[in-house]
A and B are shown apart, each in its own frame.
Chain A
Amino acid sequence: MDKMPKWADVLLIPLISILLALFASGLVVYFIIGENPFRAMAIMVNGAFGSAYGWGYTLFYTTNFIFTGLGVAVAFHARLFNIGGEGQAYVAGIGAAVACLLIPWPHWTLALLATVILTGAFGAAWAAIPAYLQAKRGSHIVITTIMFNFIAASLMIYVLNNVFTIPGSAETASVRFPESTHLPNAGEFAAFLGFRTSTPLNVSFFIALLAAVAVWLLIWRTRLGYEIRAFGHSETAAIYAGINPVKITMIAMLISGALCGMMAINAVQGESEQLRLDFVAGAGFVGIAVALMGRSHPIGVCLAALLFGMLYQGGAELAFEMPAVSREMILVIQALVILFTGALDNMVRMPMESLFMSFRRARPATAAAPNPKPTRTDQGDAETVTPE
């Protein structure tokens, strides 16, 4: 029996958790930094949504977080915790550079297609080794993916110092990608909304939305998705039903790595148009918060990604307007969101469940509302009868 109606589980609990996280962040702003948290919040919301300039950055960050959030979410469905999104995105950045620098593309659509394939493949490849070790050798995927994040960071420094370098420059970055690989940004396809040509928001935003739809189809409308969810719910039951655990672990992690990797389309090909050292900027980790908050559902992930996009853009504005608040405040908010929606989930859930249970008990006792489902009335009666 469900202890709570579905809407409470999907909407109410995440909402309460977020409010708690924001409340705790407000306490930090008020007591430690000594600024007015409401004014800070107003600056953040205004900085993120108050202008086309703000929207451009907000949606740019959102695009990154949709990709990494979807990646982490797919792994969550198979009860795998992919902390390696950061490393997978790093390595996928190399894939994007390969796609854009090696072949002279005649048109950006072809270049985009190549980047989608290569970033996905590189990200998946970086997830493949931890996935294989988890599936075949039972090595804990959390530890191996963390290790692969560090290895990827070293690899990235090596690649930018030895492979993709700017001749005659000490900057750790690749040369700029050719003009033909330039993705149209919002200033080109949506200038009527007020976007300037310098806005970082580009067509990969739509690819992110497409990816969200694809993930929804995959998880809830295909046999593979069913197998992934079954495996996540109960490994033993899934194996009993003839689902191959090695196959599901591998496939779920490969998809997860590919999605995390695709954030490089937006950040490398879309925005910086060259491979830079710090293009991931924590997006892989934000993906964890986004997937937790969005309850691993693509719609939830998109909304949570928007919230974090707002936090990132608004936080930058906030650091500008209120110099006392440093940019790292975003990290604190992110940590509190992960804490309340992920680790302290039961703290919110347990009282809510007992609250709903008491509602349900009270209803048949008063007999005011006729219950549509007979089974539930039976249970209600049974519960009200037994104490007497």
Chain B
Amino acid sequence: MDFMTILQLSDSSLRLATPLLLACLAGLFSERAGIFDIGLEGKMLAAAFFSAAFAFTTQNVWIGLSVGIIASVTLSLLHGLASITFRGNQLISGVAINFLASGMTVVIAQTWFSQGGRTPALSGPARFEEFVLPGASSRIRDIAQQDPLGQVYSELLSGHSILVYIALLIVPLTWWILYRTRFGLRLRAVGENPAAVDTAGISVVWLRFAAVMICGVLCGLAGAYLATGLSAGFVREMSAGRGFIALAALIFAKWRPWEALGACLLFGFLDAVGNRFQNIELLTFLNLVFLFVVLVGAIMLVLRAIAIARGKGKTRALTGPAIALGVGLLFSIGLPMLDPDGGLSATLNNIVLPVQFMQALPYILTVVILAGFVGRAIPPRAGGEPYVKER
């Protein structure tokens, strides 16, 4: 596998990870405030439809984006009404929102456009254009002639829609809001112990509504990116379970923003691999996975080393990434040395992973994580429980 293929794979991983990331951060705000939200999927779908519909009719993608966000926030408020005001079951409310979105989008699309539940194809100003960073080339022929560093810049970093960069910026922003502002402290507290927040004289209801509305805005961005950035127009059920993968990524990331970025990139990567290779040989797949592990391990190692150098971390935190890096390197360098005649590689290559396995992998991984075999995921303590004020 050559360098360019890996770059293209990383490029599409980033694209496919973006809607997951936005939805995942949306869920993070909501669940950190103690409101479980399995309606991420429905909100994304509604936003996807309304952004595409309004972007088409007004031929302005920004109006489409705003209407998409409004649609998603409306569903968020419905969720808030059911689960905060009327103290209903948050899971049931989420299920209802998913069905409502998947039914309403097609019903309205059929009424407005009569194209079998889709919107007309978007083009020009009705879509988010590729955003070429300064000094980058956009044509594949020019990119191929650049040096490796330039290729990384032009192929991987440049040429995404603006929403991809916004999504990447929202990660540090989320971290800052949650861990460095008063609002974030209260938001986290209301998900762990709402009674304490109430005793301090802060409105639990208001905080939770604020969290749910932030969740709506982010889901709106995710949905709009699906319909106007990733593809050109709305088709029925186009969110295709991404809301649930985002939920899986959220658990994978243990409800933390930076880890959410990592988890979404992993799931985006799996999606990209599944798209590129229909049936993939086990060896190729393992190579790719370990390459990913090496990359993530190296990045984490550097980040943690910087944190320790600034006196903010423990040396123990280095072990995880170091082990990942070691195992990854051992595999990618060690396997060819251990296996000079290629017998093992041939055996591994005889095992072909079906594409369905690749598609199911994010869900299987989530179940493994949830089972607590790879580090335990502990949700916010008051999650899912309606708060009843003492009288």
Enumerate chain B interface residues (CB-CB to A < 8 A).
38, 78, 81-83, 86-93, 95-100, 102-104, 106-108, 110-111, 117, 236, 241, 244, 247-248, 251, 354, 356-357, 359-360, 363-364, 366-367, 370-372, 379
Contact = CB atoms under 8 A, between A and B. Distances in A.
Given A83-B95, A342-B96, A328 B247 contact: no
A334 B99 contact: yes
A138 B372 CA distance: 9
A78 B46 CA distance: 34
B55 to A, nearest CB: 20
A347 B86 contact: yes
Given A33-B107, A326-B106, A350-B86, 6 more contacts: A133-B371, A137-B372, A285-B99, A328-B106, A335-B98, A347-B88
A211 interface: no
Contacts of A142: 38, 91
Interface string A309-331: 00000000000000011101111
A154 B99 CA distance: 21
Nearest to A136: B371
Nearest to A319: B110
A346 B86 CA distance: 6
Interface in A342-368: 342-347, 350
A203 B238 CA distance: 38
B193 to A, nearest CB: 20
A15 interface: no
A325 B117 CA distance: 11
Contacts, number: 153
Contacts of B87: 346
A198 B185 CA distance: 64
A162 interface: yes
B379 to A, nearest CB: 7
26 contacts: A83-B91, A83-B95, A129-B367, A147-B244, A147-B248, A151-B364, A151-B367, A154-B359, A155-B360, A161-B356, A288-B95, A326-B106, A331-B100, A331-B106, A332-B103, A332-B104, A334-B103, A335-B97, A336-B96, A342-B88, A343-B82, A343-B89, A344-B81, A344-B88, A346-B88, A347-B88
A161 B117 CA distance: 28
B111 A154 contact: no
A292 to B, nearest CB: 7
B357 A154 contact: yes
B88 A158 contact: no
The 10 closest A-B pairs by CB, nearest first: A331-B103, A335-B99, A343-B93, A335-B100, A332-B103, A342-B92, A154-B360, A139-B370, A343-B82, A339-B96
Nearest to A348: B86
B103 A151 contact: no
B366 A143 contact: yes
B103 A339 contact: no
Given A143-B370, A344-B86, A330 B360 contact: no
Interface residues of A, number: 50
A133 B102 contact: no
Give the residue among B93, B99, B360 with the most A Cβ atoms within 10 A.
B99
A139 B371 contact: yes
Given A155-B356, A336-B100, A326 B107 contact: yes
A11 to B, nearest CB: 20
Nearest to B103: A331
B59 to A, nearest CB: 23
A328 B357 contact: no
A325 B108 CA distance: 9
Given A146-B38, A342-B92, A158 B363 contact: no
Nearest to B109: A326
Contact of B354 (A139, A158, A292, A343): A158
A328 B105 CA distance: 9
A220 interface: no
A339 B106 contact: no
A150 B107 contact: no
B102 A331 contact: yes
A345 B92 CA distance: 11
Give the residue among B87, B103, B111, B236 with the most A Cβ atoms within 10 A.
B103
Contact of B95 (A129, A330, A338): A338
B363 to A, nearest CB: 4
A28 interface: yes
A157 interface: yes
A138 B108 CA distance: 41
A370 to B, nearest CB: 33
Contact of A33 (B111, B251, B356, B371): B111
A140 B92 CA distance: 14
Interface string A37-70: 0000000000000000000000000000000000
Contact of B363 (A33, A151, A342, A346): A151
